Structure 1
Amino acid sequence: MAAPRGLSRLPALLLLLAGAGQRPGVADFCSWRGSGLSWEPRSRAVEQVHLRCTEGSLEWMYPARALRVVLEPNLSSARHTTVCIKPASDFQGASIYVERAGQLHLVVSEAGGARVHHVSCFSAHAPRVGLFLQASPQRDISRRSASFQYELLSTQSAAGPDFRKMALVEAMCRPCDNVELLMAICSSDFVVKGSIQAVCHDTAHHVSQVDVSAHRVYRQKSRVFQQDDASSGWRGLIRTLLQCQVKKGGGDFLFTGNEHFGEAWLGCAPRFKDFLVVYQAARERGTSPCEFQLN
């Protein structure tokens, strides 16, 4: 995870933010879509957007001047301590800053080249997070879009090469113990029984992609696993760190994990027969944290 670079001076942006006034919040949803062309040409006001979900998206067409985005989910607890931003593949026309202790720190720069499309994560030390999007200077009104997805993650749910510090790689790659496995089937975004069809390694992004043929989808947050018309079964792709050295193995597994930005990230994945032994023993002792429908 690349740490945001601190910027002690941003005269133009700070002057703009201290302008004649700010327009009231124009959104109170998970996602927002707007255009800089709708603003008054001579206005110094800053468009403000309030997003109150733990995940969503923003699309700023024809960026102009600056946009202030406040992430303030309606939660009774402040356990979501990490914010991740994934710029769209065609992100252009602006840079993204996060406010910390009265200063602005660069998170995503249009001048960042290929790295602009990487997921950027940073810690949030308050229940609300302020982001500033500063439009890049341009001579014409050619179509540009500064679009991104965001997620607010708890420490326990952060996964993937851009969601964890490399010091935690060893813990992420090790096999789950029995307690972790039982908790995984209760709280994971997806739980499926299936076999590995193929494993592809992306060395450039330090990610491995597991092609899974699922015989049973017990639960999934979105449509990561979809039915294959040809075989009437389910197929899906699960990602994990390249350092975990995942290899193709025979037999059935129970795949669990979390979804981030529409992608499935691997959590616990024991062989299905081993999972049955653990679950049935816990059920007999009355220590299983939840009921799991095996049929």
Structure 2
Amino acid sequence: MLPNVIIFMYMLSLQLRHCAADLCNWSGSGFAAGVDSRIVLQVRLRCTEGSVRWIYPGQALRVVLEPNLSSARRTTVCIKPSPSFRGASVFIERAGELELLVTEGGRPQQQVFCFRADGPHRPAIYLQSSPQSDGAWSRRTMGFRYELLANRSAAPNLGHSGIQTSCRPCDDTELLMAICNSDFVVRGSIKNVSHDTARQTSLVEVSALRVYWQRSGVFEQQAATSGSSRPVSSWRGHIRTLLRCQVKPGDGDFLFTGSEHFGEAWLGCAPRYKDFLSVYQTAWAARRNSCDFPLD
């Protein structure tokens, strides 16, 4: 593979063709690039999350992400390749150079790739299609979903290879920040835990007594019946964490917090509810709570 600098200069020497897109998503054809190898399709997207779908991928596609994030000094970009993604390499542009993110021969369909986008330049993502001598390129469709995350304490650690949730218990300060900044805050119990060795993750099934808030519909309300045949409201949802965290089913109520990425909930702080009450009430009495929380 050519060094990054040589690839970068080669890409810049190609003709850029700008493509129309809505604010968040782009779906288009690379047929023209298949005819003229000098063409690099260029797309600009202005949302913090969305998708890119490249039909008939040709030579290369450059996606510039430029949402209004003036309040965030630093940003993390995460992309999740589509299930049909193959026959291309993905590069990120930083400081005037291209860095390889996903190799052509890899199998990234179940992975999330994240990188820091610090500095004054907008993050850009390159998709470089591999040549197909048998004409198979015309039958392919590839793409990815993306998210831009402003740095915050409630978000999991995001490394070059994806989400890296910490397994250690949160301290009091982290817990108080988590209830203010998390994408979801839920009180409930663990009903079941299943494991995915391929992704090295565990899926925690949660039966929730109360959903204080959630960014999307990860937790869904269900009608249930109590022992006295009186209808009660319940919520069900699933939260992912790393397999090495060794989460197991257990009795008792927990306060689950965390972040959402690509439609999945990822576990952050999860103390027992009674332990959370003690921490919060102590902080409230000392006026050290970061935000008000509705106590039952």
Secondary structure of residue in 2 paired with 1:111: coil
Shift of 1:94: 2.8
The TM-score normalised by the length of structure 1 is: 0.84
Uncovered stretches (5+) of structure 1, i.e. residues with no partner: none
In angstroms, what is the RMSD of aligned CA positions?
2.8
Shift of 1:185: 0.9
The answer to whether the 8 Å contact 2:75/2:148 transfers is yes
Shift of 1:33: 1.5
Uncovered stretches (5+) of structure 2, i.e. residues with no partner: 226-232
Cα deviation per residue 1:38-77 (whole Å; 9 max; x = unaligned)?
6694483422111223322211111112111112221114
**Structure-to-structure mapping, 1:152-231, within 5 angstroms:** 152-153=148-149, 154=151, 156=153, 157-159=155-157, 162-163=161-162, 172-229=166-223
Q: Which residue of 2 aligns with 1:293?
A: 294
Q: Structure 1 residues 53, 6: closer, same or farther in 2, change over 3 A?
A: farther
Secondary structure of residue in 2 paired with 1:173: coil
> Is residue 2:45 matched to residue 1:44?
no
Secondary structure of residue in 2 paired with 1:283: helix
Higher strand share: 2
Q: Which residue of 2 aligns with 1:64?
A: 58
Question: Which AA in structure 2 matches 1:276?
Answer: L
The answer to whether the 8 Å contact 1:57/1:150 transfers is yes
Question: Which AA in structure 1 matches 2:172?
Answer: N
**Structure-to-structure mapping, 1:1-295, within 5 angstroms:** 7-8=3-4, 14-15=9-10, 17-19=12-14, 21-24=15-18, 26-27=20-21, 29-37=23-31, 41-42=35-36, 44-112=38-106, 114-127=107-120, 128-138=122-132, 139-140=135-136, 142-153=138-149, 154=151, 156=153, 157-159=155-157, 162-163=161-162, 172-229=166-223, 232-295=233-296
Question: Which AA in structure 2 matches 1:256?
Answer: T
The TM-score normalised by the length of structure 2 is: 0.84
Question: Which AA in structure 2 matches 1:118?
Answer: Q
Task: Decide which moves more: 52-61 or 205-214.
Answer: 52-61
> C-alpha separation between the residues in 2 aligned to 1:176 and 1:16?
45
Question: Which AA in structure 1 matches 2:147?
Answer: E
Q: May I ask how many residue pairs the two structures share in their alignment?
A: 283
Deviating 4+ runs (over 6 angstroms): none
> C-alpha separation between the residues in 1 aligned to 2:31 and 2:287?
62
The answer to whether the 8 Å contact 1:51/1:71 transfers is yes
